[in-house]
Amino acid sequence: MRRSLAPVLALSLLLPAALGAASPATPTGPALWEAWPTARVSPADPWGLKHSGLRVALADLQARHPGLITLVEEGTSAEGRQIPLLRLGSGPTGVLLWSQMHGDEPTATSALLDLMHWLGTHPQDPAVRQLLARLTLWVIPMLNPDGAERTQRWNAQGIDINRDALRLSSPEGRYLKAVRDRVQPTVGYNLHNQNPQVRAGATGAQAAMSLLSVPGDEAFSLTPGTRQTRRLAVAVDRLVQPLAQGRVARYDTDYTARAFGDAMTRWGTPTLLIETGGWAGPAEAERLVRLNFVALAGSLVALADGSLKTLDDAAYDRIPLNQRDATAALVVRHVRLASGRGLAPFPADLSFLLPGPFAGERPRLRQAVLTEIGDLDHVLGLAELDGTGLLAVPWPAPEGSDWPALKALLAARKLESTEEATVLSEAKAQGEATVAGPGYTGAVLLYRTLPGGRVQLAGAVLRGRVVGFEPR
């Protein structure tokens, strides 16, 4: 179903440029963080929100807040699912926000639902009134419903929509381009999730959020539009740093002509990319949705009230760069590794990843895996073990086995306390099952070295976690 945008555009052109002499105070990040629980309508699990659930949530928001959210039109996905375009506000500055063009990247979709509910529940708040009077928000909360249905990056055609801005082979890409061309937004928000194994700078924490003022050409030319998105990135950084200190990075990328963010900037809609990363710990998904809510609400208010103009866009360059593949679920440091094939033990660090709902461009893991061996000083372990004085020995672990079962098996083979040479010989006899390398999914036994060439079993890494180990 399509509805004409002409009345909407005509209305925006009739609005006066100045809407009130005084600007209300811009909400702080901590204030928005505290406001989120009452604004929340998003589900506990963002990855559980599919197309049908989104439509129910949007209908509920429209019923709760009559007149706030207009369903302007709907596109159609490759498999025939409807892609809603929503409008909020009536101001002369158009802002296009689109989320989940990768179907397995849903964090901002949930945050957009919360943002719309927050706007609807605070109609008398001066900052909200000003936002809705000065901005027109065009929201596509789920561009790739077919991918979302499968929790996959690509659409039903197997196309990465975010690499389809030139050929426009996907109906979803064609729809996004058509919306941009019709509404001619002043600025865009391209909302994604990124691989959680990213660090905020060389010495920072796991990056919960990465920001990019998306370039419009290979020269990364500074234009009034890209200066504005640089200031938007600075605004987001200042909003969320008090909440996620050391967890905000600048997305490191090259200009990619076929990518939609780059194309949007090239077409005249300078775009801010927000990539949600990881924030390991209890309620991780909830914290990341909440952080997105703060980033979106606060930066839109700053855009509306004019405070964005007071920010120095040069501060954008001081946001630390993404360090890719620089975090791991577990890092075991400074062991002597007997990697198999009869090789002599050698000094090494080991990094492990665990399965999760999202892994970026890589296939999602089905089980814990050893990812890297060697000097891993640059990698931040979300859990770490100092293995100084330990001998690490790969060992096959039957599926479903736990530490007591593994320990009993080793005891039966008299491998709890024995000669180091005996352990190495037994491991070699297991063949390829005890050859450690990237992709290895078996156990890694941890032995303390004792005088006289003996070793004592001290624990293990089993399915990406340290078990049985007690520090001395």
pLDDT at residue 24, as a whole number: 66
pLDDT at 1 over 70: no
pTM of the complete model: 0.91
Per-residue DSSP letter, 468: S
pLDDT above 70: percentage of residues in the chain: 95
pLDDT at 18 over 70: no
Q: How confident is the model at residue 433 (pLDDT cuts 50, 70, 90)?
A: confident
pLDDT at 398 over 80: no
Biggest CA–CA distance in the chain, Å, is: 89
At CA 290, angle to CA 288 and CA 291, rounded to 5? 65
Q: Is the dihedral of CA 319, 320, 326, 329 positive or negative?
A: negative
Q: How confident is the model at residue 20 (pLDDT cuts 50, 70, 90)?
A: very low
The segment with the largest mean pLDDT, out of 210-219, 355-364, 432-441, is: 210-219
DSSP calls for 313-358: GGGGGGSPBEEET-EEEEEEEEEEE--STTPPPEEEEEEEE---S-
pLDDT exceeding 90 applies to what percent of the chain? 87
Please report which confidence band the pLDDT of residue 358 belongs to, taking 50, 70 and 90 as the band edges. confident
Q: Name the pLDDT band for 26 (thresholds 50, 70, 90).
A: confident
Quote the CA–CA distance of 58 and 296 in Å, as a whole number: 18
Q: Where are the domains of the chain?
A: 6-323, 327-467
Average pLDDT, the chain: 93
pLDDT at 13 over 50: no
What are the pLDDT digits (tens) for 296-353? 999 999 999 999 999 999 999 999 999 998 999 999 999 999 988 888 999 999 999 9
Residue 184 has pLDDT above 60, yes or no: yes
pLDDT in tens, 246-290: 999 999 989 999 999 999 999 999 999 999 999 999 999 999 999
The domain made up of 6-323 has a fold known as: Aminopeptidase (3.40.630)
Helix (H) or strand (E) holding 455: strand 454-462
Mean predicted confidence (pLDDT) in 441-460: 96
Measured CA to CA, the distance from residue 453 to residue 431 in angstroms comes to 23
C-alpha span between 176 and 133 (Å, rounded): 25
Given 3.40.50.2300, 3.10.180.10, 2.30.40.10, 3.40.640.10, which CATH number is that of 327-467?
2.30.40.10
pLDDT in tens, 133-156: 999 999 999 999 999 999 999 999
Assigned token pair, 448: 């303390």
